[in-house]
Structure 1
Amino acid sequence: MTQNPTARRRPVLRAAAAGAATAAALSAAVLAPSATAAPAPEDAPVLIGHRGAAGTAPENTVAAFEDGVASGADFFEIDVQLSADGVPFLFHDNTPARTTNVAEVFPGREDDPITSFTWDELQQLDAGSYFSEEYAGERIPHLDDAAEVATRNTGVFIEIKSPVNSPGIEQVVADALAEDAEWSELVEAGKIEVLGFDEASNQRFAEIAPDVPLQQLVGTVPDAATLERYATFADAFGTNYRTLDEAGAERVRDAGLGLGVYTVNSTEAYDEAAALGVDRITGDFPIQFSRYERGLKVFPQNTGVQVADSVNDVPGADLQPETGEHVVLENTGNHAVDVSGWILRDAANNVLEIGEGYELEAGERLRVYTGPGADAEDAYYNGGTANVLNNGGDSVALWTDDAQLQDTFAN
């Protein structure tokens, strides 16, 4: 176990701006060609696509990794676990219910641990349709699939997920990085970082692979003594951007650790994090942040309709009739826009829809509710029976009915 994190730390390389070829690889609904755009400023934070690029493709799939690479991000992040028969696979949740068709393929196993499935069983699941029918057939990837997509411009942040459910996973990841040629090349290029929330797991990994950069994740910045302990085995520290303040950022720097934040999903939140001097910013929309860093229009397909507010924590019950949780849209443009059939998607892929017959004139607002109520010219009710918006802070993305990304909002 190293006692000098600065001796282990490798310089992180800024990725070059995406060229015309990579820009063309993305759907025109998400990224417009940008071959002539300036590169990101040299002092811009390192940009990491969360779970690949979870805002524009199904998380932890090859499609999301390809979006992350095409965005020009410095890294894309993945979550690795072990199958029942010891195969390293990429998946975030502890159960398959949220992001696969497990109920159809293996009825009754929806809430079983994802690590209780064999690799063969995992390959029978569809991990893309939950996001959009466009991604039907996307499979749960093997760890090595991420290396095949990564490049020397866009590397990989490897999060060891729920290691208590995957005994021995630290050795499996370390062996892959040391023995597989594609992974080894990325390590040598400074394009790999391993991270996790479990301190004991991180310590085990540091002992096995002391030359691989390592990041300790915690939801809030702890006291100075705890950070100094992390610095005996980790190179960097990552936390929720909503909990970070100047004092916390200073404590991290005083401990000699690099500083990262997750999951940043609006340009306003990006600016706030950057102002605190963070080294790394992880978000679901690396495509949009890459454009933002290079001075391009963040949402090139925007019609003028934006998310003005997300009212997550209303007085009383979240789903009370008429006045429950809701998102506010505003037409900031000069022309009327028909928003019928548009959707709002949060970071967990909960979806709110807008019904038919809603056209916003310039300057008009529309409230889109999760729960029940009487539809009106300025309000649409989804009639949902479960709250969607996270009272502790959430992000939502606005999409047209033909899959054009219009805006993101984080509170």
Structure 2
Amino acid sequence: MKKRLSLAVTTALTAGALSFSALIAPVATAAESLFGTPEAEQPVTIGHRGAAGTAPENTVAAFKDGRAAGADFIESDVQLSADGVPFLFHDDTPARTTNVEEVFPGRENDPITSFTWAELQQLDAGSYFSEKFVGEKIPHFNDIARVATKNTGVFMEIKSPKNSPGVEKVVADALHNDPAWIKLVEAGKVEILSFDPTSNMKFAALAPEIPLQQLSSTVPDAATLALISTFADSVGTSYRTLDQAGVDRVKAAGLEIGVYTVNDIDAMEEAVAMGVERITGDYPIQFERYLDGVNPFPASRGLVITDSVNDAPGNDVQAENGEHVVITNTGNAAVDVSGYYLRDAANNLLHIGEGYVIEPGASLSVYTGPGTNTADKFYNGKTSAILNNGGEALGFWTANHSLLDSFAN
């Protein structure tokens, strides 16, 4: 088993870090800030689906972004094709992140596991994100092992195991027999996880030496945690549902605790302050820069997302007053934001029209629905809501695809 990870929150903050923390208005106090934390005291960082905030999720490009970030692990999801080949993909259908409608018209809502490996390789899994990634393929299970290193390992979720009978043995066999996986296992850089406890127990019986994480949308009760501790080493849960009592319950069961999907520095600070040891997020590059004491958004020029009104009173896409995101210029110079855009975790986009300039200290509200454009409001005119009422994660990008800020609520 992997050695238990120790975590200590830094008790000092440099003047430069304090200045930057003031800019992003963290919830934690200065004494608790993780900005510039010594390496040995940093939480374990995991790039979600590689680095899904900056590259198309679960592609080699995203895995390389996560590795380049210096994340401790890159996470992905494994399923089995119709002919039994393990591949890396999150959703149950190919509709959201591939060009399946062009390649296999009428099959966009078919189970992703109903496609053969040869069919999966005909799909483009990158162009949905941006033109930069046209041609990215759905990876084979072994592709992520070729990207990973002794510094950046692999968190592998067994996804929807009911749709991929026998996937646990396929994964265990690869870890035991494939040279690239063996090197990672020997370095302590592989962990398996699943929401399905039956699947986890199956895997534990096949490969008891591999660290195992039980995923749960909320922290289970003490009795359930005691059962989990018989086959798993850690629990992973949503940071949005976590409280101190949950952290204490997990640790009392002798388990480590991690949270997903953290896309905001404030949320990372809060989780670590409660004793969370592992942080999974879509922006490992930005989080690693912050932990190392470097501005995570060097291109921002003071532009930050200051609010996201996900659940507007009445209809979320009502004219003039529906859901919207607020962008504020905290810098000293006006910024032309023509063509800039917001992207959420599901890859929905909100754009800003031509001719929009945000003056220092001013804000621009970017609406999903219809309305009358003004100097401080831009309306996308969509007819369906985009922002998740239960909590949203957003990235703010220039027209040339430079990341300016991330935000979650």
TM over 0.5: yes
* Partner Cα separation in structure 1 for residue 257 and residue 235 of structure 2: 5
Deviation, 1:10, is 3.4
Counting matched residue pairs gives: 382
The 3 A distance-change label for structure 1 pair 263 and 95 is same
How far 1:41 moved relative to its partner? Answer: 2.9
> Is the aligned partner of 1:176 residue 2:150?
no
d(CA) in 1 for partners of 2:38 and 2:236?
Answer: 22
Alignment match, 1:204? 202
Report the residue type matching 1:153 in the other structure. N
1:47 is paired with a residue of what secondary structure?
Answer: strand
Q: Is the 8 Å Cα contact of residues 89 and 141 (structure 1) preserved in structure 2?
A: yes
1:357 aligns with 2:350: no
Show the counterpart of 1:228. 226
The structure 2 residue matched to 1:136, chosen from 134, 137, 146, is 134
Looking at structure 2, the residues matched to 197 and 184 of structure 1 have their Cα atoms a distance apart, in angstroms, of 25
Q: Aligned partners of 1:38, 1:367: CA distance in 2, in Å? A: 32
Q: TM-score, normalised by structure 1?
A: 0.91
Equivalent-residue separation in structure 1 for 2:286 and 2:2 (angstroms): 29
Displacement of 1:44: 1.2
8 Å contact kept, 2:5–2:277: no
Runs of 4+ in 1 over 4 A off after TM superposition: 11-14, 37-40
Kept in 1: contact 2:87–2:140 (CA 8 A): yes
Say yes or no: does 1:286 pair with 2:284.
yes
Instruction: Tell me, in whole angstroms, the C-alpha distance in 1 between the residues paired with 2:313 and 2:137.
Output: 42
Aligned to 2:3: 10
**Which of 366, 377, 380 matches 1:379?**
377
Check whether the contact 1:343–1:401 (CA below 8 A) recurs between aligned residues: yes
Give secondary structure in 2 for the equivalent of 1:182.
helix
Whole-angstrom distance in 2 between the partners of 1:300 and 1:379: 26
Quick one: which amino acid aligns to residue 353 of structure 1? H
3-state SS of paired residue (1:42): helix
Deviations 1:97-138 (A, max 9, x none): 000000000000000000000000000000000000100000
* Matching residue's letter, 1:393: G
Q: Partner amino acid for 1:391?
A: N
Following the alignment from structure 2 to structure 1, what is the Cα–Cα distance between the partners of residues 114 and 243?
A: 40
- Say which SS state the counterpart of residue 168 (structure 2) adopts: helix
Percent of paired sites with the same residue: 65
Cα distance between partner residues in 2 of 1:78 and 1:253? 26
Secondary structure of residue in 1 paired with 2:378: strand
Secondary structure of 1:287's aligned partner: helix
Letter in 2 for 1:158: M
**Which amino acid in 1 is paired with 2:307?**
D
Give the equivalent residue in structure 2 for 1:322. Answer: 320
With structure 2 as the length reference, what TM-score do the two structures score? Answer: 0.92
**1:61 counterpart residue number:** 59
The answer on whether the counterparts of 1:10 and 1:213 sit within 8 Å (CA) in structure 2 is no
For 2:342 and 2:384, locate their aligned partners in 1 and report how far apart those are by CA, in whole Å: 16
Residue 3 of structure 2 aligns with an amino acid whose one-letter code is: R
Residue 243 (structure 1) aligned to one of 238, 241, 249? 241
Question: Which secondary structure state, in structure 1, belongs to the residue aligned with residue 224 of structure 2?
Answer: helix
1:119 paired residue among 117, 120, 124: 117
- Give 1:302's aligned amino acid: S
Cα deviation, 1:50-76, whole Å, max 9, x if unaligned, reads 000000000000000000000000000
Distance 2:279 2:331 in 1: 30
* 1:317 Cα deviation from its structure 2 partner: 1.2
SS at match of 2:45: strand
Residue 327 of structure 2 contacts residue 363 of structure 2 at CA under 8 Å; is this kept in 1?
A: yes
Give the alignment of 1:55-94 within 5 angstroms: 55-94=53-92
The answer to whether residue 331 in structure 2 is matched with residue 333 in structure 1 is: yes
Give the Å deviation of 1:320.
1.0
Whether 1:48 aligns to 2:71 is no
Contact 1:12 1:191 in 2 (8 A): no
Residue 299 of structure 1 pairs with residue 292 of structure 2: no
AA in 2 matched with 1:72: G
Structure 1 residue 11 displacement after superposition: 4.4
CA-atom RMSD in angstroms: 1.4
Q: In 2, distance between residues paired with 1:338 and 1:330?
A: 12
Matches of 1:38 and 1:375 in 2, distance apart? 42
CA deviations over 1:315-353 (Å, ceiling 9, x no partner): 111111111100000111111100110000001111000
Q: Deviations over 1:270-325 (max 9, x none)?
A: 10111011110000000000001110011011111110100101111111111110
Give the gaps of 5 or more residues in structure 2.
8-34
Three-state SS of the structure 1 residue aligned to 2:64 is helix
| CA 1:38–1:239: 2 relative to 1, 3 Å | closer
